[in-house]
């Protein structure tokens, strides 16, 4: 375990400079430095303002990047509104009535376009940088986001329904889903740690309260039933861990205590030494290792099938394709 962690930490250290080789097709964190030196600072400013106004927004922006990358790669497709030619991802089951932060992305895009005196920074890169800045704003680690993504010209509700891991998945389903995206067991546990931030809707954890009594702490269940009755209140919210606006390891502590809010969360820790139990215990005990590895896994996820070069486009408005 120590060797694995040290190798991932070394990856973070190597990425701390702009003078490095690109990972896959993406370029260095300095991609926009010559054409728009203040692009990343502008994104950070708007993100910090949005989170200061509503701390929950940090989790929402982070989630947008996740849900974007898991559907045909990190291409900004989640931001597209429906058109006469395609039904987009916003109203897919994993996103309907839950994906949010689109107005903040609009503000970021407008601010960046003004700062850059034109349409320079892609919406897909904005999502990746805003996710990192959200983590930092809520006490988490900084990491160097690789850049150069371009934006998709289409989106698919069907692909979103099929590709985004559901909160009802068992451990085998989670592993299969992540492996299909080129992500490992360790990536699954680390990226699930993003649930150290944010809330979930009652409809996504109701069955856990009333059908999984043996795997859910009794007192936690009774507390949650006041928020999420057996019928009604689908949009009522409960925190994913005990500190939903602070990036920490409480999420992992909760899994060990059988307090995981979502079925898919608790599947990471069954307490029998199988599956991901060891990783959950490790990150619960070593917050610095979680912080280091989170950055590495975010970079890995953020490099999933990006559009680069002449592929796609850079959208002027993140909600719609450009018209020539």
Share of the chain above pLDDT 70, in %: 92
| pLDDT over 80 at 7, yes or no | no
Q: Are residues 115 and 41 in the same domain?
A: yes
Q: Do 104 and 139 fall within a single domain?
A: yes
In a domain, 254, yes or no: yes
Residue 179 belongs to a domain: no
Query: Distance of CA 270 to CAs 8, 221, 322, Å?
Result: 26, 17, 48
Domain boundary among 165, 199, 232: 165
- HEC profile for 96-125? CCCCCCHHHHHHHHHHHHHHHCCCCCCHHH
CATH of the domain at 103: 1.10.520.10
Q: So what's the pLDDT on residue 324? A: 66
Q: Do 22 and 158 belong together in one domain?
A: yes
Residue 173: pLDDT band with limits 50, 70, 90? very high
Residue 201 inside a domain? The answer is: yes
CB–CB of 101/64 below 8 Å? yes
Backbone angles phi, psi at 214, to 5 degrees: -75, -20
pLDDT band of 69, cuts 50, 70, 90: very high
pLDDT tens digits for 230-251? 999 999 999 999 999 999 999 9
| End-to-end CA separation in angstroms for the chain | 53
Question: Residue 62: pLDDT above 80?
Answer: yes
Q: How confident is the model at residue 1 (pLDDT cuts 50, 70, 90)?
A: low
Two tokens, residue 291: 């912080």
Instruction: Evaluate the CA torsion angle 78, 84, 86, 90 in order and state its sign.
Output: positive
pLDDT, tens digit (0-9, with 9 covering 90-100), for 85-108:
899 999 999 999 999 999 999 999
Q: Does residue 35 sit in the same domain as residue 155?
A: yes
Looking at residue 8, what is its pLDDT?
Answer: 55
Residue 38 lies inside a defined structural domain of this protein: yes
Same domain, 81 and 35: yes
pLDDT digits (tens, 9 = 90+) for 136-156: 999 999 999 999 999 999 999
210 and 123, same structural domain? Answer: no
Q: Could you tell me the pLDDT band of residue 14, with boundaries at 50, 70 and 90?
A: very low
What residue numbers bound the domain in which 135 lies? 10-165
Q: How far is CA 297 from CA 153, 188, 273, in A?
A: 27, 9, 23
Is 85 inside any structural domain? yes
Whole-number pLDDT of residue 216: 95
119 and 252 co-located in one domain: no
Which of the residues are catalytic? Answer: 67
Claim to verify: residue 213 and residue 158 sit in the same structural domain = no
pTM (2 d.p.): 0.91
**What's the alpha-carbon Rg for the chain, to the nearest Å?**
19
Residue 75 within a domain:
yes
- 153 and 16 both lie in a single domain: yes
155 closest CA partner among 103, 85, 86, 105: 86
Which structure tokens are listed for 268? 């990471």
One domain for residues 19 and 70: yes
Identify whether 212 is part of a domain: yes
| Nearest by Cα to 104 from 41, 44, 164, 40 | 44
Q: Tell me, what CATH number does 273's domain have?
A: 1.10.420.10
Looking at the fold, whether 16 and 157 belong to one and the same domain comes out as yes
Mean pLDDT of 283-305: 97
Q: How far apart are CA 240 and CA 217, in angstroms?
A: 14
Whether residues 17 and 160 share a domain: the answer is yes
Model confidence band, residue 208 (pLDDT cutoffs 50, 70, 90): very high
Flag whether 322 is in a domain. Answer: no
Give the separation between CA 78 and CA 57, rounded to whole angstroms. Answer: 17
pLDDT at 36: 96
**Looking at the 3D structure of the chain, how many domains does it have?**
2
Q: Give pLDDT tens digits for 29-52.
A: 889 999 999 999 999 999 999 999
287-302 and 57-69 helices cross at what angle (nearest 10)? 50
Quickly list DSSP for 114-164: HHHTSS-S-HHHHHHHHHHHHHHHTT-------B--BB-S---HHHHHHHS
- Alpha carbons 178 and 173: distance in angstroms, whole number: 9
């Amino acid at each position: 375990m120590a060797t694995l962690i040290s190798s991932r930490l070394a990856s973070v250290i190597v990425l701390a400079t702009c003078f490095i080789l690109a990972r896959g097709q993406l370029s260095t964190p300095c991609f926009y430095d010559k054409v728009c030196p203040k692009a990343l600072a502008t994104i950070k400013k708007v993100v910090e303002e949005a989170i200061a106004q509503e701390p929950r927004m940090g989790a929402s922006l982070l989630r947008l990047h996740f849900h974007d990358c898991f559907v045909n790669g990190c291409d900004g497709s989640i931001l597209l509104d429906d058109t006469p030619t395609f039904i987009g991802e916003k109203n897919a089951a994993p996103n309907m009535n839950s994906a949010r932060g689109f107005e903040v992305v609009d503000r970021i895009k407008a601010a960046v376009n003004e700062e850059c005196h034109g349409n320079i920074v892609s919406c897909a890169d904005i999502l990746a940088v805003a996710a990192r800045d959200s983590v930092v704003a809520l006490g988490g680690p900084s990491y160097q986001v690789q850049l150069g993504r371009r934006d998709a010209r289409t989106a698919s509700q069907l692909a979103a329904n099929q590709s985004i891991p559901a909160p009802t998945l068992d451990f085998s389903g989670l592993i299969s889903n992540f492996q299909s995206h080129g992500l490992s067991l360790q990536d699954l546990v680390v990226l699930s740690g993003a649930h150290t931030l944010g809330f979930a809707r009652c409809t996504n954890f109701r069955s856990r309260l009333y059908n999984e009594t043996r795997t859910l702490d009794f007192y936690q269940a009774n507390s949650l039933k006041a928020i999420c009755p057996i019928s009604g209140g689908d949009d009522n919210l409960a925190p994913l861990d005990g500190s939903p606006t602070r990036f920490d390891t409480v999420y992992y502590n909760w899994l060990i205590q059988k307090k995981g809010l979502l079925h898919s969360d608790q599947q990471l820790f069954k307490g029998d030494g199988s599956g991901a139990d060891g990783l959950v215990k490790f990150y619960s005990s070593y917050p610095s290792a979680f912080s280091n590895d989170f950055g590495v896994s975010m970079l890995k996820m953020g490099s999933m099938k990006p559009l680069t070069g002449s592929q796609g486009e850079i959208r002027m408005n993140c909600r719609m394709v450009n018209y020539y």
